[in-house]
């Protein structure tokens, strides 16, 4: 199996809900090219800094390394566990799934239990599922038994899913492609930098899913002229009518023009689209009525930012799909931008055009 495919699998499998990303960071550090130093801040954002600075512009590559997950709130008398979501979840996608709980003594397996149909009243069958109606069962029968496994309030939880590459369809099935597929694209871009006089720095940011908290700290420690945020962005092609699809899997990289956190700088967006056109990289432009990215933080700190998304089916669910070719396109586009951008282009972002 090639190195990139194994890296994607390792990163997808890594344990990294918002606030407990260390396993992802450790695995990413093993994949940092030799020409880079790494450092961490107190939140554990990982800065990947080139040993050698060049004279061109400073380009920041960002991807968030956290995934949506859960946190233990309380252990109940019957041994089941009440929990809260970390990041945005639809509770319907959580009920019935297998999870992994990280304790001081290692991982414990659990199942998110909703009341089985046999025990539901007619009214309960019609009621919407909420987190209040879900518990995690670790196969125990008392609070003491559960706590003896190391499960206590504050333990972090993620879906128990193992990533696989389905070669025939050139897709991955697994968890956390939002944004581990972006982390993989960032690392691969650093491994395959084009000839350039620009200085390229990477940052794997924590806690994006709970409100861009990692990038809010990272931006204070970084000096950059422009930023590229890689995202494992939600694909809508299996839900939307064909006319309205903004982000389809296997249709190329997504360049986000608009979401709730940022209106992408039109000149930077155009520059990126031109790069994609010239290099024959398939792309799609997305205007999203929801969502947000770390771009929302960087652009408010005078760092023009574009978002390169790798469409991910069922983001913020226990498992999803993403396409290897969309990933390869994201790396190629980032390389084209790094190769072609210069101070004149960046200066033009300050000009009025009408």
Residues that bind Zn ion (CB under 5 A): 178-179, 231
Nearer to Zn ion, 75 or 233 (CB): 233
Nearer to Zn ion, 62 or 178 (CB): 178
The whole-angstrom separation of Cα 226 and Cα 82 is: 43
Nearer to Zn ion, 151 or 233 (CB): 233
CA distances 68 to 24, 108, 237, 349, Å, are 13, 18, 21, 34
The answer to whether 48 and 36 are in contact (CB under 8 A) is: yes
Nearer to Zn ion, 11 or 179 (CB): 179
Nearer to Zn ion, 231 or 336 (CB): 231
CA distances 314 to 174, 283, 319, Å, are 10, 20, 7
Residues 6+ apart with CB under 8 A from 256: 231, 233, 262, 264, 285, 286, 288, 293, 295, 306, 307, 309
**Which residues face 229 on adjacent strands?**
62, 307
Question: C-beta of 57: minimal distance to Zn ion in Å?
Answer: 26
Question: C-beta of 151: minimal distance to Zn ion in Å?
Answer: 28
> E strand or H helix at 58, and its extent?
strand 58-64
Question: C-beta of 308: minimal distance to Zn ion in Å?
Answer: 12
Question: C-beta of 232: minimal distance to Zn ion in Å?
Answer: 6
DSSP 133-158: G-EEE-S-SSHHHHHHTT--TT-EEE
Nearer to Zn ion, 18 or 198 (CB): 18
Detail the DSSP E strand segments found in 148-249: 156-159, 164-166, 171-174, 199-205, 226-231
Pairing of strands 283-287, 253-258: parallel
Nearer to Zn ion, 179 or 228 (CB): 179
Is residue 179 reached through a cis peptide bond, with omega within 30 degrees of 0 on the bond before it?
yes
Nearer to Zn ion, 178 or 225 (CB): 178
Question: C-beta of 324: minimal distance to Zn ion in Å?
Answer: 19
CA distances 166 to 173, 268, 352, Å, are 7, 35, 48
Nearer to Zn ion, 58 or 204 (CB): 204
Question: C-beta of 66: minimal distance to Zn ion in Å?
Answer: 9
Question: C-beta of 278: minimal distance to Zn ion in Å?
Answer: 28
Question: C-beta of 68: minimal distance to Zn ion in Å?
Answer: 9
The whole-angstrom separation of Cα 262 and Cα 257 is: 8
Residues 6+ apart with CB under 8 A from 249: 171, 235, 237, 311, 312, 313, 321, 322, 323, 326
Question: C-beta of 259: minimal distance to Zn ion in Å?
Answer: 11
């Amino acid at each position: 199996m090639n190195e990139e495919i194994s890296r994607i699998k390792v990163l997808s499998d890594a344990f990294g809900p918002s606030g407990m990303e260390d396993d992802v960071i450790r695995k990413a550090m093993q994949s940092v090219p030799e020409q880079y130093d790494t450092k961490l801040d107190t939140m554990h954002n990982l800065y990947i800094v080139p040993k050698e600075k060049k004279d061109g512009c400073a380009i920041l590559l960002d991807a968030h390394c956290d995934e949506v997950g859960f946190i233990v709130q309380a252990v109940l008398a019957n041994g089941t566990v009440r929990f809260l979501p970390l990041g945005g979840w639809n509770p319907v996608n959580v009920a019935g799934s297998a999870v992994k709980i990280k304790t001081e003594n290692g991982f414990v397996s659990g199942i998110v239990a909703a009341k089985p149909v046999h025990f539901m009243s007619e009214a309960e069958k019609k009621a919407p599922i909420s987190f209040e109606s879900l518990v995690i069962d670790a196969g125990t029968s008392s609070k003491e038994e559960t706590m003896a496994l190391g499960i206590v309030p504050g333990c972090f939880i993620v879906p128990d899913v193992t990533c696989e590459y389905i070669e025939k369809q050139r897709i991955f099935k697994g968890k956390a492609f939002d944004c581990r597929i972006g982390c993989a694209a960032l690392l691969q871009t650093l491994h395959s930098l084009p000839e350039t006089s620009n200085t390229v720095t990477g940052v794997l940011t924590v806690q994006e899913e709970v409100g861009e908290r990692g990038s809010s700290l990272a931006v204070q420690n970084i000096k950059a002229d422009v930023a590229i945020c890689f995202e494992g962005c939600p694909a809508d092609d299996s839900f939307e009518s064909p006319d309205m699809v903004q982000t389809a899997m296997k249709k190329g990289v997504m360049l986000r023009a608009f979401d709730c956190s940022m209106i992408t700088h039109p000149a930077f967006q155009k520059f990126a689209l031109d790069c994609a056109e010239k290099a024959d990289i398939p792309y799609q432009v997305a205007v999203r009525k929801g969502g947000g990215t770390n771009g929302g933080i960087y652009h408010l700190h005078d760092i023009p930012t574009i978002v390169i998304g790798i469409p991910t089916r069922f983001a913020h669910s226990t498992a999803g799909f993403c396409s290897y070719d969309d990933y390869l396109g994201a790396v190629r586009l980032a390389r084209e931008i790094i190769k072609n951008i210069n101070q004149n282009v960046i200066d033009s972002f300050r000009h009025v055009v009408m």
